[in-house]
Amino acid sequence: MHRRYVKVLEDVLDANSTIAAANREDFERASVKVVNLMSAPGAGKTSLLERVLARLDGVRVGVLEGDVQTALDADRIASLHVPVVQINTEPRFGGECHLDANMVRSAIPALPLDEIDLLVIENVGNLVCPAEFRLGEHHRVMVASVAEGEDKPLKYPLMFRACELVLVNKIDLLPHLDFDLERFLGNLDAVHPGVDRLLVSAKTGEGLEAWRDWLVAAAVREASRVA
Cα 80 to its chain centre, rounded Å, is 19
Of 117 and 122, nearer to Mg ion (C-beta) is: 122
Q: Give the list of residues 6+ apart from residue 119 with CB closer than 8 angstroms, or none.
A: 27, 32, 33, 34, 35, 61, 62, 63, 64, 111, 113
Minimum CB–partner distance for residue 71 and Mg ion (Å): 11
Residue 51 one-letter amino acid: R
Q: CA 27 to CA 32: how far, in whole Å?
A: 5
Indicate the residue among 46 and 88 with the shorter CB distance to Mg ion. 46
Among 36, 39, 86, 88, binds ligand GTP (CB under 6 A): 39
Restricting to residues 139-158, name those near ligand GTP by CB under 6 A: none
How many residues bind to Mg ion according to rule CB under 5 A?
A: 3
Binding ligand GTP by CB under 6 A: which of 43, 159, 168, 218?
Answer: 43
CA triple 92-29-52, angle to 5 deg: 70
Which residues 62-81 are close enough to bind Mg ion by CB under 5 A?
Answer: 73
Q: Which is nearer to ligand GTP, 24 or 89 (CB)?
A: 89
Listed residue (208, 37, 200) closest to 118, CA to CA:
37
Among 188, 136, 197, 137, smallest CA distance to 159 is for 188
Q: Binding residue for Mg ion (CB under 5 A) from 34, 43, 44, 45?
A: 45
Closest distance to Mg ion from the beta carbon of 174 (Å): 22
Where in 57-86 is the site for ligand GTP (CB under 6 A)?
73
- Asked if residue 46 binds Mg ion (CB under 5 A), the reply is yes
Give yes or no for a contact between 122 and 63, defined as CB atoms under 8 angstroms apart: yes
Residue 42 near ligand GTP by CB under 6 A? yes
Q: Which residues bind Mg ion (CB under 5 A)?
A: 45-46, 73
